């Protein structure tokens, strides 16, 4: 028996927490966040609204959407004031790596709750890094805007359209929480040591960054670029699967049917209208990949996951692909902070055991 073949290698089916925050039904293809289906939430609630629900459900003070809107706006302003001190730590790093250093440099702020500072700082840091990479100065937050609209303004230096802000809002809501995914588990482990929320979100971001988790959407676009034309779909996908490569944006540990978030994000792309809604090659690649995976991995039930349409949506919003993972973190930080609060309220250190498979002393 090799270590990776043991049944516990991926902690499949192990419950690591009892939570009020979200529920993933992999057979029904359903995601419930704080009592509502993800598609309903994305259609009716802003990011601030879902943050209010998550923090309230976690047992922090009960907050509403308007209160969270004020708190996140204040946090964005404070994070912006700290940029001059933070950005030098990111010198020479890619946006994904620089974001890790920048998140690690965020700390407590008088008068701002740590969960608000952690979530509010994320888009400020991401936007500053994107602009810095393009040789542009950071753009100050606009506290009169919602979190999604301000994120786009800080990224672009000019206001986004209402439809674009709505599309990013739908994205942030959709990825706000998702059961015991790897980065949320990392968040809960760190929180269980009673480390503070800034430690928690730094660790969670590190876990998110890998291609098997939140690092996938950039490579989805790379795949679509590499395929290029309809005629090349079949040969490209077949060759990738024959090599044993994983197709980015497909497959999921929990979902055995289509990830419900994929459809929410596809609808958000459609709602943007114009040429952005023309999915042409994307839809053809998706259809062929699903068929090819069914043939190559019979019985594995591999379907489209959230990252496939994340890539299309964030690209349509003109967010550079090397910033997709930090933008994902901006959304998921809602769940990380809520889970950390919930975990700390249990007061219990997460400390599992391992099965020793090495030699014993003679
Ligand atoms: N392309 C090709 N083959 C795949 C893919 C894929 N996207 N996903 C799984 N497989 C294969 C595995 O290689 C394995 O093959 P085998 O049985 O011949 O060894 C089989 O399908 C079963 O895989 P699982 O072990 O059930 O998959 P696991 O739960 O470990 O992985 C994961 C889930 C990591 C998401 C995987 O599907 C993957 O790597 N997908 C591509 C990367 C990706 O899209 N990541 C984003 C995930 S969504 C999120 O985290 C927000």
How far does the centroid of ligand 1 lie from the alpha carbon of residue 75, in Å? 37
Lowest-pLDDT range, 38-42, 75-79, 217-221, 343-347?
A: 217-221
Residue bearing the CA closest to ligand 1, atom 28 = 253
Predicted pLDDT of residue 217: 84
174-209 pLDDT, tens digit per residue, is: 999 999 999 999 999 999 999 999 999 999 999 999
Higher pLDDT, 326 or 13: 326
How far does the centroid of ligand 1 lie from the alpha carbon of residue 126, in Å? 28
Residue bearing the CA closest to ligand 1, atom 29 = 253
d(CA 200, CA 185): 10
225 phi and psi, to 5 degrees? -65, -45
276-293 pLDDT, tens digit per residue, is: 666 889 999 999 999 999
d(CA 293, CA 301): 8
Catalytic residue among 115, 286, 307, 342: 307
Yes or no: say if 292 and 239 are a contact pair by the CB < 8 Å rule.
no
Yes or no: say if 297 and 240 are a contact pair by the CB < 8 Å rule.
no
pLDDT band at 7 (very low <50, low <70, confident <90, very high): low
Predicted pLDDT of residue 61: 84
Residues in Cβ contact with 154 at an 8 Å cutoff, skipping those fewer than 6 apart:
123, 124, 127, 128, 138, 139, 140, 141
**CA diameter of the chain:** 72
Q: In ligand 1, which atom is closest to the CA atom of 12?
A: 29
For CA atoms 288, 168, 48, 182, give the dihedral sign: positive
The tokens for 106 are 């965020």
How far does the centroid of ligand 1 lie from the alpha carbon of residue 70, in Å? 40
For residue 5, pLDDT over 80 is answered with no
For residue 129, pLDDT over 90 is answered with yes
Active site residue 307: yes
**Which domains does the chain possess?**
20-212+321-346 (1.10.580.10), 217-316 (1.10.230.10)
pLDDT band at 218 (very low <50, low <70, confident <90, very high): confident
Helix/strand number for the chain, H first, E second: 16, 3
How far does the centroid of ligand 1 lie from the alpha carbon of residue 128, in Å? 33
Residues with CB under 6 A from ligand 1: 211-214, 216, 246-253, 293, 297, 300, 302, 305-307
Yes or no: say if 218 and 322 are a contact pair by the CB < 8 Å rule.
yes
Q: In ligand 1, which atom is closest to the CA atom of 245?
A: 2
Higher pLDDT, 8 or 294: 294
The tokens for 198 are 């800034």
State percent of the chain over pLDDT 70. 97
Among the listed residues 146, 98, 148, the one whose alpha carbon sits nearest the alpha carbon of residue 126:
98
Q: In ligand 1, which atom is closest to the CA atom of 250?
A: 7
The tokens for 249 are 């944006």
Active site residue 67: no
Its pTM stands at 0.94
Catalytic residue among 48, 252, 286, 342: 252
How far does the centroid of ligand 1 lie from the alpha carbon of residue 93, in Å? 29
Place of tokens 């990380």: 336
């Amino acid at each position: 028996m090799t270590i990776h073949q043991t049944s516990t290698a991926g902690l499949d089916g192990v419950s690591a927490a009892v939570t009020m925050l979200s529920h993933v039904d992999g057979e029904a293809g359903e995601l419930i966040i704080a009592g509502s289906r993800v598609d309903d939430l994305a259609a009716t609630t802003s990011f601030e609204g879902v943050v209010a629900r998550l923090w309230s459900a976690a047992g922090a003070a009960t907050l509403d959407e308007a209160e969270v809107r004020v708190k996140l706006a204040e946090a964005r302003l404070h994070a912006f004031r700290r940029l001059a001190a933070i950005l030098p730590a990111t010198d020479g790093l890619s946006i994904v790596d620089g974001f890790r250093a920048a998140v690690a440099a965020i700390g407590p702020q008088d008068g701002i709750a740590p969960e608000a500072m952690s979530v509010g700082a994320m888009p400020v840091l991401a936007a500053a890094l994107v602009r810095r990479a393009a040789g542009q100065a950071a753009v100050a937050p606009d506290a009169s805007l919602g979190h999604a609209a301000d994120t786009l303004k800080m990224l672009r230096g000019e206001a986004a359209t209402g439809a674009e802000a709505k599309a990013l809002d739908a994205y942030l809501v959709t990825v706000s929480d998702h059961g015991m995914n790897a980065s949320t588990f990392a968040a809960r482990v760190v929180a269980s040591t009673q480390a503070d929320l800034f430690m928690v979100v730094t660790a969670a971001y590190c876990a998110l960054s890998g291609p098997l988790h939140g690092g996938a959407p950039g490579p989805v676009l790379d795949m679509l670029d590499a395929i290029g034309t309809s005629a090349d779909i079949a040969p490209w996908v077949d060759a990738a699967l024959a090599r044993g490569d994983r197709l980015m944006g497909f497959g999921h540990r929990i979902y055995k049917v289509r990830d419900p978030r994929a459809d929410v994000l596809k609808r958000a792309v459609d709602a943007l209208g114009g040429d952005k809604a023309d999915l042409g090659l994307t839809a053809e690649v998706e259809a062929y990949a699903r068929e090819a995976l069914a043939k190559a991995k019979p019985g594995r039930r591999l379907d489209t996951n959230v990252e496939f349409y994340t890539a299309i949506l964030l690209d349509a919003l003109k967010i550079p692909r090397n910033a997709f993972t930090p933008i994902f973190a901006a959304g998921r930080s809602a769940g990380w902070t809520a889970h950390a609060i919930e975990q700390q309220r249990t007061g219990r250190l997460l400390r599992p055991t391992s099965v020793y498979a090495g030699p014993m002393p003679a």
